[in-house]
Amino acid sequence: METSSLAGCWELVSGECLDNGHLLQYGEAQLRARKVLANGYFSFVTHQQGAFWAAGSGRYTVDGQQYTERPDLGTFPPEAMRDYVFRFRLEGDLWHNTRWEDGVQVEYEVWRRVG
Q: What is the CATH number of the domain that holds 59?
A: 2.40.128.490
- 15-24, 38-47, 88-97: least confident range: 15-24
Cβ–Cβ under 8 Å, residues 40 and 60:
yes
Find residue 9's DSSP bridge partners: 36
- pLDDT, mean of residues 34-40: 97
In DSSP notation, the chain reads --GGGG-EEEEEEEEEEEETTEEEETTTTTEEEEEEEETTEEEEEEEETTEEEEEEEEEEEEETTEEEEEEEEESS-GGG-S-EEEEEEEETTEEEEEEEETTEEEEEEEEEE--
Domains in the chain, number: 1
At residue 83, the pLDDT reads 96
Q: The whole model's pTM is what? A: 0.91
CB atoms within 10 A of CB 7: 15
Question: What does the alpha-carbon distance between residue 78 and residue 113 come to, in Å, rounded to a whole number?
Answer: 30
Question: According to the model, what pLDDT value does residue 3 have?
Answer: 57
The tens digit of pLDDT for each residue in 17-35 reads: 998 888 999 999 999 999 9
For residue 20, what are the domain limits? Answer: 3-113
φ, ψ at 5 (rounded to 5°) = -65, -20
66-94 confidence digits (pLDDT tens): 999 999 999 988 888 899 999 999 999 99
